[in-house]
Amino acid sequence: DTAVSQTPKYLVTQMGNDKSIKCEQNLGHDTMYWYKQDSKKFLKIMFSYNNKELIINETVPNRFSPKSPDKAHLNLHINSLELGDSAVYFCASSRGLAGEPEQFFGPGTRLTVL
Amino acid sequence: LAKTTQPISMDSYEGQEVNITCSHNNIATNDYITWYQQFPSQGPRFIIQGYKTKVTNEVASLFIPADRKSSTLSLPRVSLSDTAVYYCLVGDTNAGKSTFGDGTTLTVKP
């Protein structure tokens, strides 16, 4: 069984569209994260949730809205997509509070905005 | 947040020991140091974590000097499959924030 799964794996869309990426973890972890990795491989945290509560909200446009229906899921909704949103988005989870060193990452979602 | 600095890239040959150093001059008291490995088209994978001195597991060793302003990931006897990007992560567990370094691309040659 996959520990942290994301769907879809690839997402190609037009500028201005709204899209969602889903993430699920079956590890029983309390904390989940969204990261953005750009073309230069820089990995930046976007959001973190602990038990469905927002813990970290880095400087991210408010077009990005995370939603955590339960502690096993953290979805990412993006409104009015822009070219600069093209990147690989990784979901991750960890056992304890946000910042727990050992994080388990999903396989990533490659978003391409045309 | 503690900023980290790593070499952009390193080359090595199969069977050699590889040491990758990460600088984190502003590391805080509560920060742990963690290293991740990332292969192309995959998410990062935890390698090792430490707070001070030396930590060793079945994959790597992590050396942290007394001042904790740097750390060195040591990979013994690398193979071609160790070619990957290695990230140094400094975590402030109390504030709930961690910062990934920019990563070191390790290329292992035959």
Report the alpha-carbon distance of residue B58 to residue B60 in Å, rounded: 6
Bigger pLDDT: A101 vs A22: A22
Q: How does pLDDT run across B96-105, given as a tens digit for each residue?
A: 566 677 899 9
Which of B38, B49, B85 is closest, CB to CB, to A101? B49
Report the alpha-carbon distance of residue A45 to residue A36 in Å, rounded: 6
Contact pairs from chain A to chain B, CB under 8 Å: 65
Report the alpha-carbon distance of residue B77 to residue A15 in Å, rounded: 47
CB distance A98–B97 less than 8 Å?
A: yes
Tell me the residue type at A73. H
Has residue B42 got a pLDDT over 60? Answer: yes
What's the confidence (pLDDT) of residue B94?
47
Q: What proportion of chain A, given as a percentage, has pLDDT over 70?
A: 93
CB of B29 within 8 Å of a chain A CB? The answer is: no
Average pLDDT over residues A56-80: 90
